[in-house]
A and B are shown apart, each in its own frame.
Chain A
Amino acid sequence: MEYVLIVISAIFVNNIVLSQFLGICPFLGVSKKISTGIGMTGAVTFVMVIATIVTFFLQKAVLEPFGVGYLQTISFILVIASLVQLVEIILKKVSPPLYQALGVFLPLITTNCAILGVAIMTIQKDFNIVESVVFAAANAIGFGLALITFAGIREQLDLMDIPKGMKGTPIALVVAGLLALAFMGFAGIV
């Protein structure tokens, strides 16, 4: 039951993009087509879960016993950056088709604040390892849900007659605002 609450809260109520404002750059950047949205979601899910597991053990096994909690920001971002490189190298060798699908998105992920944000949040919320993995996976699904829905709307938006000044980014932001408004309807179900 506890896990169900974590999942529902992360996907709908506190959606990582639309209510926590993490991962806005890829949300606006790669949402022009549904297919790229799906690819990005795959890459984010993959890295987010692995990064959360690794940073969890880093925090519990290194930072806390040695009393160097202030190194959290530096060590987490280094771990994430090298992890992304590692995942890229391994994927290239082990599963070329998966690498083909996710490859272009992997380098972008280092500067995706959703990854670092979720890693820090799991520590702040004092989750155990199973809860952390569930939380990371649920947040990745929430990211995907927002991104793919948004991409679907933007594909339709190309066919619309939009005032000149609103074309491009402004209308995309307003649409994202309306989507966030829709997600606010989930508030209070958990």
Chain B
Amino acid sequence: MNQWSNFSKGFFKENAVFTLLLGMCPTLGVTSSAIDGLGMGLATTFVLVMSNLVVAVIKDFIPDKVRIPSFIVVIATFVTIVEMTMQAYVPALFDSLGLFIPLIVVNCLVLGRAEAFASKNKLGASVIDGLGMGLGFAMALTILGSVRELLGSGKLFGTIIYPENYGMLVFVLAPGAFIALGYLIAFINQVKKEA
């Protein structure tokens, strides 16, 4: 596999959200606005790239039996770094993402890539894989966030598109998350079939 397809598979062919259905909790939980979705996506991308990098470096020293716990410690370390950095520099985003920042630890996407890719591949390829999958995840979250924000409150990245009282409030609430994602996945399945 060349480096470009290694990078680009995360966006469409093996997109974490639309195809593999990994990391659904943050996908549904933080996408009530596009900017929250983007912030969550980038935080996850950072954790994914760094944990893939470290796992690729240390994979030869870790006994096979304690593989998973070791990966979790590596991931949790970077999650803590992200948590503290966000609290210091973007407190507003930190507050709106809330509980979902520490929960990046149990995002199956991050552990999944460490186990399925970084523990078997070289350093460079692992970093590119992490970057591609992470940005693909961020893209999916931003799309879902944009759809919900536009339909729900008439805004896009905070810019008013149409007056808020014409919006369908349900899309920024919990049920809208499930319904919007359901129709997005149906749309993507359809596009894939025709392509």
Contact = CB atoms under 8 A, between A and B. Distances in A.
Contacts of A172: 182
Contacts of A174: 178-179, 182-183
Interface in B33-65: none
Interface string A62-100: 000000001111100110011000000000000000000
B29 A74 contact: no
B8 to A, nearest CB: 23
Interface in B105-136: 105-108, 111
Interface residues of B, number: 41
Contact of A73 (B102, B175, B176, B181): B102
Contacts of B80: 70-71, 73-74
B106 A173 contact: no
B28 interface: yes
Interface in A135-173: 165-166, 169-173
B160 interface: no
A18 B185 contact: no
11 contacts: A19-B174, A21-B25, A22-B25, A73-B83, A81-B69, A81-B72, A117-B103, A121-B99, A170-B189, A177-B175, A184-B175
Nearest to A73: B102
Given A116-B106, A165-B186, A21 B177 contact: yes
Main SS of the interface on chain A? helix
A106 to B, nearest CB: 14
Contacts of A104: none
B182 to A, nearest CB: 3
Contacts of B111: 111
Interface string A110-126: 11110011001100100
A124 to B, nearest CB: 8
Given A73-B79, A170-B183, A184 B72 contact: no
B168 interface: no
